[in-house]
Amino acid sequence: MKRYWYFFLLSFLLIASAYQLRAQNFPSESWHDGKLTLLSGDEIKAKLKYNIEGDLVQANVNNTIQTYSARKILFFEIYDELSERYRQFYALPFEIRSNYSVPMLFEVLYENTVTLLCRERIVQESIPQYSYYSYYTPSRYATRYRLDYDYYFLDKKGGIVSYSMKKDDLYKILSKNTSALEKYIKENRLKYDRQRDLVRITAYYNSLINT
């Protein structure tokens, strides 16, 4: 009897876990109160929904959905109720190949002489699920979705460089006062691939180069 009860409980937990994996809600799938500024100078205050990978923003104006590409956008700001904070985005030219740039949407994480940007994306993962009779070999796989980020640095001349989240790459981009920056990162146990730590690193680097 105990064996069947354990099997029932495990099955219930697996089903609940699978439901949670499917029920995730991401910021890009929701409508947010916000303001959109176009290159034409027009401002639109409305419910906004963004698609970073598609470089698109939708505005719900009087129950009419208007769609704008990054080519028409200067800036937009939203209040994200999921994270309970305001978020700012710019459409900036990014060189996707030699001598060819296209406008792309970037979120501003920290703004200064050297600015930290990011682009979010939803990635799909396969999570192994184990049954009562299979302790070591997965009986099936569940699909999980999570947010991932690509990071960039923007300099005061408007140049944008992609950051690989590796230590050597960071010091190649943030190339001034590297000894002081490295000491700060080590003393504060900061990681090169964690968003909140990258914000602190960028802020400290700006304090070094702006003095």
Residue 208: per-residue pLDDT: 96
Residue 211: per-residue pLDDT: 81
Which candidate, 87, 96, 148, places its Cα nearest to that of 123? 148
Question: Does the pLDDT of residue 48 top 80, yes or no?
Answer: yes
Mean pLDDT of 121-144: 68
Mean pLDDT of 53-66: 96
Residue 83: per-residue pLDDT: 87
pLDDT in tens, 145-193: 888 999 999 999 999 999 999 999 999 999 999 999 999 999 999 999 9
- pLDDT confidence tier of residue 143, bands split at 50, 70 and 90: confident
Cα within 13 Å of Cα(188), Cβ side: 15
- pLDDT confidence tier of residue 142, bands split at 50, 70 and 90: confident
Mean pLDDT of the chain: 86
Question: Does the pLDDT of residue 20 top 50, yes or no?
Answer: no
- pLDDT confidence tier of residue 134, bands split at 50, 70 and 90: low
